[in-house]
Amino acid sequence: MAVGKNQSVSRMSPRQKMINLMYIVLTAMLALNVSSDVLNGFSQVEDGLTRSNRTITARNQALFAQLQEFNQKNPGKGKVWLDKALDVRNNTDKLYNYIDSLKYEIVHVADGEEADIHNIQNKDNLDAASQVMLAPTGGKGKQLRARIDQYRQFITSFLDDPQKKANLEQALSTAPIKTKTSGEISGKTWEETMFENMPTIAAVTLMSKLQNDIRYAEGEVLNQLITNVDLGDLRVNLVNAFVVPQSRIVMRGTKYSANIVLAAVDTTQRPIVYVNGVRLGNDKGLYEVGATSAGKHEYSGYIEVVGRDGSVTRRDFKSDYTVIDPLATVSATMMNVFYAGINNPVSIAVPGVPENSISATMTNGSLTKGANGWIAHPTQVGATCEITVTAEMDGQRMNVGTTKFRVRKLPDPTPFITYTDAKGNANRYKGGRPFPKASILAATGLDAAIDDDMLNIDYKVVSFEMVFFDQMGNAIPEISSGNHFSERQKNAIRRLQHGKRFYITKVKATGPDGVTRDISPMEVIVN
């Protein structure tokens, strides 16, 4: 059945209407008497449906061939619709072939090994369809219903016309069919209505009718896809001009670039673009102008496109861009100065320039880029670090800023004893308050660090001494050669009574800058 491009495919042909009417009449007759004439009538309907299915399949193949032909001529425009058509055809064929396999199973149960769906012997067999399609034996009717439901959702998703979508949903409906009995509404499942106590020939005919509906749905969608191919030919209800700049803020010395396009433009039909009364010298709508002076710059123009009927469509546009002077932002993320001998985190950014196009160098030390930003490592205390930033813009590398930082020596750390509190958390005892003797003896030794909420830098204690006092007030020093408490120091602590105190003095510690320094003592009060 050939269908022209402008013919409405939603209307059934007289032949299709006749087939549907025969199906309804024969089904009604079946409820009264399964005579040989009725069975032969079903055979005639089955033959008609089979021929109709072949015709619809041939029509759908012709529609698919149109999409293939268009894709060969214009792959950029046709491939997306051909891919959708392939998906539709594959899903339709899978369901169609699955129904074919169910038809064969029913005939095989009715006729045995010599089963032939085109020449059914036991047409009046009332058990074969129920045995294959209904529980508790075959139960494949429920599987078929699920696959039809999935296919219905899939196939209707391609349609924009609400009426066509409603027609397909009705044709492929598997909703339970309800009838009134004794004044009360009672219903059976879709598969029970279709196959319970149904003669073999009637069940096969019903499935052929379902295949007919599936091919019909496939054809509707293929027609929709062919229609969608032409949407790019300016047959839309709204066409506007758009300016798409790479950036509306550019730096002096660089270029301002923008694409001026027409919405729903067809790449096979390039528009003509005029900016400030001058036609662009390219067919891509690319507008470039040198950014020679800072400030806001406006421009306007129009787009012309020739339609298939020779008429010219014109759309005006207006836009602007801002030129700024080169600017880089450099800031120390941890402090306002650099400290010598350690890694100082630095944030470097240039507005409108990606990070991979930014480079920077530094005097009086080294500057490296890591995964979380830049790291400055100055060397000489008292000198100045100067960071110079360059950025690549429009293929040229430009100097976009310089920032200076003072370099200071790291402050002295504070000594402390690391201990674990009752909740299992690690804490630092820095002296000047009572401290449990058990916590002192459980600690391994003395640590040191800078932890003033700006810096958090650990130091390694090289040596220290503890000064105890006897009953006569004489000072008794106990020296440790490392950062651990010596056994003599621990014994002296064990002998101390509640309220007594001792001092940790002559503490030497080495920082990440490699400098060993003397740091302040601490007083320990034994609790």
Would you say 431 and 447 are in contact if contact means Cβ atoms under 8 Å apart? no
For 97-174, strand residue ranges (E) read: none
Whether 52 has a pLDDT exceeding 60, the answer reads yes
Q: Residue 250: which region, alpha, beta or left (left: phi > 0; alpha: psi -120 to 50)?
A: beta
Which tokens in the block code for residue 104?
């064969």
User: CB under 8 Å, gap of 24 or more: what pairs does 327-332 form?
Assistant: 327/251, 327/351, 327/400, 327/401, 328/389, 328/391, 328/400, 328/401, 328/403, 329/401, 330/360, 330/387, 330/389, 330/401, 330/403, 332/376, 332/405
More confident position, 40 or 80: 80
Does the domain at 329-408 match CATH 2.60.40.1080? Answer given as yes
Tell me how crowded residue 216 is: count the other CB atoms within 10 A of its CB: 22
Cβ–Cβ < 8 Å for 397, 390: yes
Instruction: Tell me if 241-324 shares its fold with 329-408.
Output: yes
Interval 276-335: pLDDT, tens: 999 988 877 888 888 887 777 889 999 887 765 466 778 898 988 777 666 666 766 555
Sketch the domain layout of the chain as residue ranges: 14-232, 241-324, 329-408, 414-526
Count of residues making up the chain: 527
Packing angle of the helix pair 140-156, 162-171 (nearest 10 deg): 170
Q: pLDDT of 238-267, one tens digit each?
A: 566 777 776 666 666 667 788 887 666 566
- How confident is residue 452, by pLDDT bands cut at 50, 70 and 90? confident
Helices (H), 233-333: none
pLDDT tens figures, 339-393: 888 888 898 888 767 788 889 999 999 999 988 889 999 988 889 999 999 988 7
CA 339 – CA 98 distance, rounded (Å): 77
> How far from chain centre, in Å, is Cα 452?
43
Q: What is the CATH number of domain 241-324?
A: 2.60.40.10
